[in-house]
Amino acid sequence: MTVEREAGEDDVDVFMFSFQQQQQVEVSSTDNFQVNVRKSSPNQHPTWTELTCHSNCQLPVDPSYIWYKNGQQMEGKTKKINPHPVNPEDQYSCALSGYESFPSPSVYPPKLPSVSVSPSGEIVEGSSVTLTCSSDANPAAKYTWYKKNVNPDLQPLSKEPQLVFSSIQSSDSGEYYCTAENQLGKRTSEYIFIDVKYPPKTSSVSVSPSGEIVEGSSVTLTCSSDANPTAKYTWYKKNVNPDLQPLSKEPQLVFSSIQSSDSGEYYCIAENQLGKRTSEYIFIDVKYAPKLPSVSVSPSGEIVEGSSVTLICSSDANPAANYTWYKENQTLSQEPGGGYHFTSISSEERGIYYCKSENQYGQFNSSSLFIDVQYAPKLPSVSVSPSGEIVEGSSVNLNCSSDANPAANYTWYKENEDSPKASGQIFTITDVRPEHSGNYYCEAQNRRGRHNSTLYLTVVAGKLCSLMFTHT
């Protein structure tokens, strides 16, 4: 006996077998039997199915048929039957009465479809992947492919036994299933999970909390990347040798109490066995109150009266500090640059100075800076002690003093005498005599200059009278 499949009309698949006719029916070996299957159209009753026992043989008048369900003979001798319902396990065949040994091939709905993936093993993005659906069915099943959680009312992914991805992408990951359907029924496969592996996509970095970062606060940097398998992360700081120990090998880089020295640009590397990706830089700008200000004077070295002098105050601060200069608690100025300028410094500006640096996060005072202005002696003042009438034979002190920096040295002279009479602020004359009368002057001198002052002494009627005159 030979069995073959023919295409029938009206959505009918035909299965035939041929046999040697015996007794009353004249047939040749090419004659055959088959079961025709016809299902209702969609606008008719959805469960209506018609099976017809058909033969191309020359049959007797009013032939009688035998129907089998799952190998068991059914009641009735008609050419057509309408089984209801058709269960997935049911199989139907027919035969001509008297020729029960030559039944038609069985027809049956699809068995549970099986799904497979090729190639087997790990699926890497960009590779070619084929999903195959197969099911035992007669008539042969038609196949449809779907992806789980995608509306099946939409266009199916494929209406072929195979679903082909010529270059599979990460977005294709998910669960797939197929349906196998013929005129007797429809079965849905189990899900097959497609896990597409791929290297990290673009890595992104974020900082928490967002907004301004203040020294001493807790700050967390987070690195994230779409990758399969999950990426491992490594953190680095820009311009720090990456061959050294990384800052962190976790998705997060945590500063429990961030410091000003932590300011800078950071980046992370996301990596799995398929590749790695480096993030863009994220800049961390740590705000902080001024550190201890440093103070200096320009030009350095000795400060001479009349010269140009600048006091400089600087402090590490973020944002930049505002500066205020003080002289012994007297406010001088508030200048953004931290400088205080003397165009022509005077001796009166000698003293102790300090500055204050300040921003919205705090303030700090510098240490004291002593400004020592050097200048030539001012006009000396001279005096006689004791004052008033001086009795001949007594002692008298001539005093000379001058404002000078550094301190002045004093020398006493008598007019018309080349040699100095004395050195020091006080010139003492003991046992005063008339010949001591005359014009005396003192000279105050330091390395910045000198200045003179004159004193006149006169003896009258046995008494020494003093008159003081000064000139420069």
DSSP string, 244-267: S--SBSSSEEEESS--GGG-EEEE
CB atoms within 10 A of CB 31: 19
Q: Which of residues 298 and 39 earns the better pLDDT score? A: 298
For residue 165, the SS3 value is: strand
Taking residues 144-166, report their average pLDDT.
Answer: 89
What distance, in Å, lies between the first and last C-alpha atoms of the chain? 152
Q: Given a cut of 50, is residue 173 above it in pLDDT?
A: yes
Question: Which is it for the CA torsion 164, 190, 143, 6, positive or negative?
Answer: positive
DSSP state of 140: P
CA atoms of 360 and 212, how far apart (whole Å): 13
- pLDDT on residue 324: 93
CA atoms of 360 and 190, how far apart (whole Å): 66
- pLDDT on residue 102: 85
Band (pLDDT 50/70/90 cuts) for residue 7 is very low
Band (pLDDT 50/70/90 cuts) for residue 167 is very high
CA atoms of 13 and 188, how far apart (whole Å): 21
CA atoms of 26 and 411, how far apart (whole Å): 167
Band (pLDDT 50/70/90 cuts) for residue 93 is very high
The mean-pLDDT minimum among 292-306, 347-361, 386-400 falls in 386-400
pLDDT digits (tens, 9 = 90+) for 337-357: 889 999 999 999 999 999 999
Q: What percent of the chain has pLDDT over 70?
A: 87
Band (pLDDT 50/70/90 cuts) for residue 138 is very high
pLDDT digits (tens, 9 = 90+) for 218-258: 999 999 999 999 999 999 999 877 677 899 999 999 999 99
For residue 86, the SS3 value is: coil
CA atoms of 145 and 61, how far apart (whole Å): 48
- pLDDT on residue 22: 38
Give the pair of three-digit tokens for residue 390: 């001086």
- pLDDT on residue 367: 94
- pLDDT on residue 443: 94
Domains of the chain plus CATH, in order, are 3-96 (no CATH), 114-197 (2.60.40.10), 207-223+231-287 (2.60.40.10), 294-374 (2.60.40.10), 381-468 (2.60.40.10)
* pTM for the full predicted model: 0.64
Q: Which of residues 214 and 151 earns the better pLDDT score? A: 214
